[in-house]
Structures are given as structure tokens and as C-alpha cells.
Structure 1
Amino acid sequence: MNIEIRTGNRDDFQGIMQIINHAKNKLMESGSPQWSDEDSPKEEEIKGELEKGNNYLFTINKKMIGTAIMTDEEEKAYAKISYGDWDTSQGNYVTIHKFAIHPDTNGKGYGKIFLHLLLLVCQEKGISEIRIDTHPKNRAMQKVISSAGFSFKGIVHLPFENGERYAYQLFLK
């Protein structure tokens, strides 16, 4: 089995959107409003992140299984957090967004593997602080985040309907 994490490129766009669209349907089926309406990943946004080199892909035997955005741009919604606090930042942080695993591969632990590989990329780049969020009803993603060692820090509110998100933080050694 050949497992790889790499940055995405323009040629990957259709495969990325396919994974995102399948994940959106899975979220809807699970009762989570995440990625519905205004917070749905937009094609222009994904293309922009591809151009910046912020899109990462998880492949197994050259087949695209997962996609995520990892960016060091400040997340404005993280400025205000309820029911908790961020630990004092050790400088800049990266945020992982738009994390999705193709639903056909659910239950195999690929989400956990992909997130751990993203953390290795951070470590290689000398990044010590990572933040991530997910909707309160997205229990599968909460398990993936917790299994990677992230700590629950509180609730942030993204600027749209159903924008409440559980916020997590991890410091790498």
C-alpha cells in the first residue's frame, strides 16, 4: 500500500470537489448542518487555496482519499471564543479547514491517518500551533480531532447561519 500526502494542483480540482460534495451529502445525512448553505466550500475558494499551495491531498495507491486546507492566514472568527480560551499563542498558528475524507472509505481510520500526516507536515515546517474547528453535530470529525491530541478550547462562531463550531488547539513539541 502506497500512502502519500502532497499539495494539490489544478489537475486535482475535480477530484477535490468530488470528495467535498460526497462529504457534504454525508454530513447532511448525519443531521449536521455543516457545509450546507453559506459555509459550503466554494469552488473559487478551493481554486484559490490550490494556487496558494494550501491544499493538501491524502492518497492511497495514487487514489485521492482526502483533502484539506492548511493555512497560516489569521482566522478572524477565532478572535472571539466562548466558554473557554485559546492558550497563549507561541507565535503564528496554522488552521486546518475543509478537511474531508471520501465517505466510501469511512470506518477505516483514514481520517486519523490524514490528520496525523498533516501534523507531520507542520512539524517539518517548524509550526508549533495548530487550530481546527468543527460543528457540534459532526461527531465523526470530533473523534478524529481528539484522537490526534487536540484540546477542546471553546466555541467560536463563524459569520453565517449554523456557524457555531467547537474549537480545538494543539501545540507540537
Structure 2
Amino acid sequence: MDQKLIFRRAEPEDLPRLLDLYLGSIALMRLQGIDQWDDVYPSEDVLAQDIANRDLYVLEDDDGLAASVVLNEEQEPQYRYVDWRYHTGNIGTIHRLCVDAGHRGKGCGKKIARMAEAYFRERGYSAIRLDAFPKNEPAIRLYRSLGYEFCGRILLRKGVFHCFEKSLAVELQEEQLL
């Protein structure tokens, strides 16, 4: 990837491009037999609210939006039934990580996930949680490659989702030793 990638908070004027990003990803996932997202979720209203809450971030290059992600502390109610490993400190949550179909295979998923981790680490969070659709094997591989540990399953509208968690405390300690 030769172009410079910029990680920034999404603005209201990004909404049309974000809709295109998600719709393109939904179409590609359908072709791959991954029924994770649809015309109900994530909707334009959901994305607009993410922007209004200042929780939606994008990874952008000269060609446009390469990826997006929502970063906050909101957890699905079903998360309370998961056997999480980390319970102290602030817990961040990653939602709706999406890579533009034209940017797949270029490291953008890993880049925006790393930026999400840096975002939470800089704000003193101790761990990150997320859920992923089990048939979305590229997402599962990404999270595992970044050190996220499987902690359980929850049932959401589209079926069973796998829950993952990663401690940031270990990385914070390692950085302090350097």
C-alpha cells in the first residue's frame, strides 16, 4: 500500500460515502455466503447516530474511504453472559468494522484495528471487546492474528456471534518498559 492512510473521526458529510462503503461490503459478503449485515443493519440511521455520537472513525486514502469502525463502551446486553477474562478498568468495544471492497487484501482491516487499539490505549482503557459473525472468516482471522481471544458466543438478530477480547494492559506495561 503506497498511499498514505489517514485515521480520523467521521463527519456528517461522510455519510453518503459510508453508506456506499457498507453497501459494497454487504454485497461482497452476500457473494461469499456471509449473511452478517443487510438492509436492516447497519442502516443509514445507525450510521448517522454513530457520527452524531462521535463514535465512528474512518481510514481514508487518496481513493476515498478504505475502512470504518465504531469505537465506544457500548456492549450488547447479551455480553453479560460471556465469560470475559478482563473486568477491571474501562473496557472499549469495537463495532461495525468494515473494509471497502476495493481495499480488501491491502492490510486496511489490520490498520484500522490497530488504530482502534491505539485509540483505546491512549485513553487508558484496559481491554477491548467485540463480536464477530462466525462465517466471516476473514474477520475472525484478523482478530485472532491481532491477539484477540475467543471468550464465548451470543445470539443476535442474525444468529450466533463469537465474542473476542484483548487486554491492553499487557501492551501498556511493555511500552512502559521500553
User: Is residue 134 from structure 1 mapped to residue 135 from structure 2 by the alignment?
Assistant: no
SS of 1:108 mapped into structure 2: coil
Structure 2 equivalent of residue 23 of structure 1: 25
4+ runs deviating over 6 angstroms: none
Identity %: 24
Identify unmatched segments of 5+ residues in structure 2: 170-178
- How far off is 1:62 after superposition? 6.8
1:86 corresponds to: 84
- Runs of at least 5 residues in structure 1 that lack an aligned partner in the other structure: none
Partner-residue secondary structure (3-state), 2:143: helix
Question: Which residue in the other structure is 2:47 paired with?
Answer: 46
2:61 maps to which residue? Answer: 60
8 Å CA contact 2:69–2:112 kept in 1: the answer is no
Output aligned runs, 1:58-137, within 5 Å: 58-61=59-62, 63-81=64-82, 85-137=83-135
Q: Per the alignment, in what secondary structure is the counterpart of residue 57 of structure 1? A: strand
* Mapped partners of 1:144, 1:171: distance in 2: 16
Asked whether the equivalents of residues 22 and 98 of structure 2 are also in contact (C-alpha less than 8 Å), the reply is yes
| TM-aligned CA deviation for residue 141 of structure 1 | 0.5
Aligned length: 167
Q: CA deviation at 1:79?
A: 1.4
Contact 1:2 1:62 in 2 (8 A): no
| Counterpart secondary structure, 2:90 | coil
Greater radius of gyration (CA)? 2
- The 8 Å contact of residues 75 and 95 in structure 1, kept in 2 or not, is answered as no
Greater RCO (CA < 8 Å, at least 6 residues apart): 1
Query: In the aligned structure 2, how far is the partner of 1:93 from the partner of 1:49?
Result: 18
Distance 1:151 1:20 in 2: 26
